[in-house]
Amino acid sequence: MGAASMKIHAYAILLVEIGFCSLAMAASSTGPKNMSTALLISVDQEKIVVPADKPFITLSGTNASNTIITWNETGEIYDSPTVSILASDFIGKNLTIQNPFGTRGKAVALRVSGDRAAFYSCRILSYQDTLLDDAGRHYYSNCYIEGGTDFICGNAASLFENCHLHSISEASGAITAQHRDSASENTGYTFLGCNITEAAVKKYHFNIRVKNVSRLCHAKPIVTVNGMFPGPTIYVREGDRVQVNVTNYADYNMSIHWHGLKQFRNGWADGPAFITQCPIKTGHSYTYDFNVTGQRGTLWWHAHIFWLRATVYGAIVIMPKQGTLYPFPQPNLEFNLLLGEWWNTDVEEVVKQGNKLGLPPKMSDAHTINGKPGPLFVCSEKYTFVIEVEPGKTYLLRIINAALNDELFFAIAGHNMTVVEIDAVCTKPFTTQAILIAPGQTTNVLIQANQAPGRYFMAARPFMDAPLSIDNRTATAILQYKGIPDTILPILPQLPVPNDTAFALGYNAKLRSLNSPQFPANVPLKVDRHLFYTIGLGINPLSNLPEWNPTHCFLKQHFFCNAPNWASSSSLFQPKGCIYNRLSRPPS
Ligand SMILES: *[C@@H]1O[C@H](CO)[C@@H](O)[C@H](O)[C@H]1NC(C)=O
Ligand SMILES: *[C@@H]1O[C@H](CO)[C@@H](O)[C@H](O)[C@H]1NC(C)=O
Ligand SMILES: *[C@@H]1O[C@H](CO)[C@@H](O)[C@H](O)[C@H]1NC(C)=O
Ligand SMILES: *[C@@H]1O[C@H](CO)[C@@H](O)[C@H](O)[C@H]1NC(C)=O
Ligand SMILES: *[C@@H]1O[C@H](CO)[C@@H](O)[C@H](O)[C@H]1NC(C)=O
Ligand SMILES: *[C@@H]1O[C@H](CO)[C@@H](O)[C@H](O)[C@H]1NC(C)=O
Ligand SMILES: *[C@@H]1O[C@H](CO)[C@@H](O)[C@H](O)[C@H]1NC(C)=O
Ligand SMILES: *[C@@H]1O[C@H](CO)[C@@H](O)[C@H](O)[C@H]1NC(C)=O
Ligand SMILES: *[C@@H]1O[C@H](CO)[C@@H](O)[C@H](O)[C@H]1NC(C)=O
Ligand SMILES: *[C@@H]1O[C@H](CO)[C@@H](O)[C@H](O)[C@H]1NC(C)=O
Ligand SMILES: *[C@@H]1O[C@H](CO)[C@@H](O)[C@H](O)[C@H]1NC(C)=O
Ligand SMILES: CC(=O)N[C@H]1CO[C@H](CO)[C@@H](O)[C@@H]1O
C-alpha cells in the first residue's frame, strides 16, 4: 500500500492485521451507530485520517509498545500528520503514533482538530510539532509525548493528566507553543501531574564564523560561534553526554576548551590546541564528545589557541540531576552574565605587538558584560545588557569572568548577593555587597528583587594592587524592575576601590565548600606521596638569559622555578638560582 493514506470511511470495526502493509477493514454497517472500536494491531507505512463526518470512533491497541502507527513526512503541519483526527468524540487507546522524520523540519505525528477527543495511554513521537493539538476540547491521560521543539502546539483547550513529556531537543527547544491570539480566548493547555524529562545526549553545532561587530564606535571583524558574541550557552544536566560538532569557517585554526569540566580519561575532548589535539583547520569539523560527571553549576567554554578566546566564549550551565533540587532557595529565574574584555583593534595584533616589545599586551579598551560595555562608554547606550526583574522574586545570576587577564569586582546597586556556588562547586552561602572573580572563574549568586522598583546598575571593574596600569574603567549592565521606564537613570553600586587588597583577601577567605551530605567535599585524606612545588614570577630583567633580554617587566608571562631556593619571603619577585622555563611561547 505504501504511500496511500487510509481514510476511515464508515463506522467500522477496523481490523488491522499484524504485519506490514496488510490492512483489512471490515465495514460494519450493522454495528451500533455510536460505537466503533477498532482493534488496531500494527500499521506501518500508513497515514490515518478520521474525517469530520465520522464521529464516535475509538482506535484501540492492546499495548502501545507494539501497536505502532508510523509515517515519515515533513511539510506544513496540516499535511504531514501520521494520524489526523478531524471528527468529534474520538477516543485513542494504547497506541503509538509517530513521525520519525527527525530534526530537520516540521513533522506532525498526531493532529487533533475535532471536539471532545480523548487519548489514554498513548505514545506520540516526533521532533518538531509532534502533537498538533489544533482545535476543540481534548483530554490526554497517561500519555507519553516526545519531541524537540514546539512539540505540543495548536489552539485547542486541553487537559494533560499524568502525562510524561520528554524533550529530545538538541539544544533548548520549547515544549509547548499554544497559539491563542488573545487572553480572552478560552483555549490553552493544562498539565496536571505530568512529568518532564529530557534526553541524556545533548548535541550542539558550533560554526566558527567571522562577523563584523561594532563597539565603542569601532567596527571590526571578530571570530564568533554561530555569529553570536558571547557564544551560545551549553545547557546540560549532570550525567548527560554532550556532543559538540565544531566546524571551522574562519581563517584561524581553532580549538575549543570546556573550562573546568572534568574529562575523565577523555583528554581528546579537553580542547587545548597542540596539547590534547591538533587545531581544527579551516573548513574542517571536530566533534567533542564528553560526559558531565559529578559536577553541577556554571562553567564556560572558550577558544584555546592564540587570543581568540577574547571573542570566542560562552557559558556551560549544568543543571542538577532530574528530580534533584538546588541546595539553596529555588530561584524564579536565572541569567548568565559573562564578563569580558574588548579591544578596538584586532586581538591577535595586540598580542603580537606586546610580544615584539617584550611588554604585556596593550590593555583593553573596555570591559564588557555579555559583550556590552554599558552606557558609560561611547556608542554603547542602546547595546546595554538589561535584566528585568519582578518585585519579591529570587534570581540566580551565573557570573563568568571571561576576561583575558583581569580579576574583577562585581556589584549590583542596592542589592546584596548570596554566593552559592563557585566553579561548579556548591559553597556555604554567604551574603556580600560585591564579589571578586578571577579570570576563568565562575560564581553563582542569588539576588532578591526586594528594593524600590527602579533601575540599578550592575558593574564590573578590575582589582589590581600592583603598580601596573590596567583597564580600570567600569563596565555596566542594568537590573530593571518590570514596568519601570528606560528613561529613569540607574544608580551605580559602590565597588571596592581597585587596590582594595583587604576586601579581596577577606572575600576569598569566606569561600568554603558546602560539604553537605548531598554535596560532600570528597577531599582525599590519605596522602601517598608529598610533593613540594614553588612557583615564581619574575618582573626583573634577567641579564643572564640573553635570548630574551627584555628591558621591561615580565608580568603575564609564566616562569616555573623547579629548583626552589628562595632567599626569603620578602624576595617574592626575585627567586634566585632558579631555572626558568617559558611556558607560553607566543606564536611567532
Ligand atoms: C450517540 O451519541 C450521541 C451523542 O453522545 C447520543 O446523543 C446518542 O444517543 C447516541 N446514540 C446511541 C445509539 O448510542
Ligand atoms: C507491552 O509490550 C511490550 C513489548 O512487547 C512488553 O515488554 C510489555 O510487557 C507489554 N506490556 C503489557 C502490559 O502487556
Ligand atoms: C524519513 O524521510 C527522509 C527523507 O524525506 C529520510 O532522509 C529519512 O531517513 C527518513 N527517516 C526514516 C526514519 O525513515
Ligand atoms: C513521574 O516521575 C516519578 C518519579 O520519577 C514517577 O514515579 C512517576 O510515575 C512519573 N509520572 C509520570 C506521569 O510519568
Ligand atoms: C566586514 O566589513 C568589511 C568592511 O565593511 C567588509 O569588507 C567585510 O566583508 C565584512 N565582513 C563580514 C564577515 O561581514
Ligand atoms: C559536523 O558538521 C559538519 C558540518 O555541518 C558535517 O559535515 C559533519 O558531518 C558533522 N560531523 C558529525 C560527526 O556529525
Ligand atoms: C593551520 O594549520 C595548517 C597546518 O596544520 C597550516 O598549514 C596553516 O598555515 C594554519 N593556518 C593558520 C591561519 O595558522
Ligand atoms: C559517556 O557515557 C556513556 C554511557 O555511560 C558511554 O557509553 C560513553 O562511552 C561515555 N563517553 C565518554 C566520552 O566518556
Ligand atoms: C546588605 O548586607 C549588609 C551587610 O550585611 C546590610 O547591612 C544591608 O542592609 C544589606 N542590604 C540589603 C539591601 O539587603
Ligand atoms: C585608572 O587608571 C588610570 C591610568 O591608567 C589612572 O590615572 C586612574 O587614576 C585610575 N583610576 C582609578 C579609579 O584607579
Ligand atoms: C590605593 O590607591 C590609592 C590611589 O589610587 C592610594 O592612595 C592608596 O595608597 C592605595 N592603597 C594601597 C593599600 O595601596
Ligand atoms: C498494555 C497497556 O498499556 N494497556 C493500557 C491500555 O490503556 C488503558 C487505559 O485506557 C490502561 O489502563 C492499560 O494499562
Sign of the C-alpha dihedral computed for residues 147, 153, 156 and 161 taken in this order = positive
**How far is 522 from 299, CA to CA, in rounded Å?**
20
- How much distance in Å is there from the Cα of 91 to the middle of ligand 12? 13
Atom of ligand 12 nearest to the CA of 64: 3
Burial of 353 (0-12, 13-18, 19+ CB in 10 A): middle
550 in Cβ contact with 557 (< 8 Å): no
Task: Give me 537's grid cell.
Answer: 614570577
- Consecutive sets of 10 residues in the chain, 588 residues long: mean pLDDT of each? 33 32 28 40 66 88 86 92 94 93 93 97 96 97 95 96 91 87 91 89 94 94 95 93 96 96 93 94 97 94 93 96 87 97 93 85 94 93 92 98 95 97 96 97 98 97 89 95 93 95 97 91 90 71 46 37 34 35 35
Atom of ligand 3 nearest to the CA of 101: 1
Q: Alpha-carbon Rg of the chain, whole angstroms? A: 30
CA-proximal residue: ligand 10, atom 10 (nearest) = 472
367 in Cβ contact with 385 (< 8 Å): no
> Given ligand 2 and candidates 60, 65, 94, which is best to mutate, with the most ligand atoms within 8 Å of its CB?
65
| φ, ψ (nearest 5 deg) of residue 128 | -100, 130
**How far is 422 from 417, CA to CA, in rounded Å?**
13
What secondary structure does DSSP assign to 311-377, as a single string? T-EEEEEEEPPTT---SSPPPSEEEEEEEEEE-SS-HHHHHHHHHHHTSPPPPPSEEEETTB--TTS
Which ligand approaches the C-alpha of residue 274 most closely? 7
Confirm or reject: Cβ of 266 under 6 Å from ligand 8. yes
Q: Which fold has domain 200-324?
A: Immunoglobulin-like (2.60.40)
Confirm or reject: Cβ of 45 under 6 Å from ligand 9. no
Q: What is the pLDDT of residue 46?
A: 65
62: number of Cβ within 10 Å: 12
294 in Cβ contact with 238 (< 8 Å): yes
Domain layout of the chain by residue ranges: 23-198, 200-324, 332-521
- How much distance in Å is there from the Cα of 16 to the middle of ligand 12? 19
Confirm or reject: Cβ of 450 under 6 Å from ligand 2. no
Task: Give me 460's grid cell.
Answer: 564590573
428 in Cβ contact with 513 (< 8 Å): yes
- How much distance in Å is there from the Cα of 489 to the middle of ligand 3? 56
Confirm or reject: Cβ of 287 under 6 Å from ligand 6. yes
The most distant pair of C-alpha atoms in the chain lies apart, rounded to whole Å, by 107
Task: Give me 168's grid cell.
Answer: 529530545
- Do the domains 332-521 and 200-324 match in fold? yes
**Residues shown for the chain:** 588
Confirm or reject: Cβ of 118 under 6 Å from ligand 12. no
Atom of ligand 9 nearest to the CA of 450: 13
Dihedral, CA atoms, 514, 516, 519, 520, nearest 10 degrees?
Answer: 90
Bridge partners of 112? 85, 133
Q: What is the pLDDT of residue 467?
A: 83
**How far is 26 from 11, CA to CA, in rounded Å?**
10
Q: Which fold has domain 23-198?
A: Pectate Lyase C-like (2.160.20)
Task: Give me 75's grid cell.
Answer: 511539510
- How much distance in Å is there from the Cα of 102 to the middle of ligand 3? 7
Task: Give me 14's grid cell.
Answer: 477496523
Q: What is the pLDDT of residue 538?
A: 56
Confirm or reject: Cβ of 95 under 6 Å from ligand 12. no
- How much distance in Å is there from the Cα of 417 to the middle of ligand 9? 9
**How far is 554 from 358, CA to CA, in rounded Å?**
8
CATH class label, 332-521: mainly beta
Q: What is the pLDDT of residue 568?
A: 33
Q: What is the pLDDT of residue 18?
A: 27
**How far is 157 from 3, CA to CA, in rounded Å?**
32
Give residue for cell 557564544: 231
Among 476, 457, 415, 411, CA closest to 437: 411
**How far is 272 from 264, CA to CA, in rounded Å?**
16
Collapsed DSSP state (helix, strand, coil) of residue 190: strand
Q: Answer whether the bond into residue 55 is a cis peptide, omega within 30°.
A: no
> Given ligand 5 and candidates 207, 209, 210, 212, which is best to mutate, with the most ligand atoms within 8 Å of its CB?
212
472 in Cβ contact with 342 (< 8 Å): no
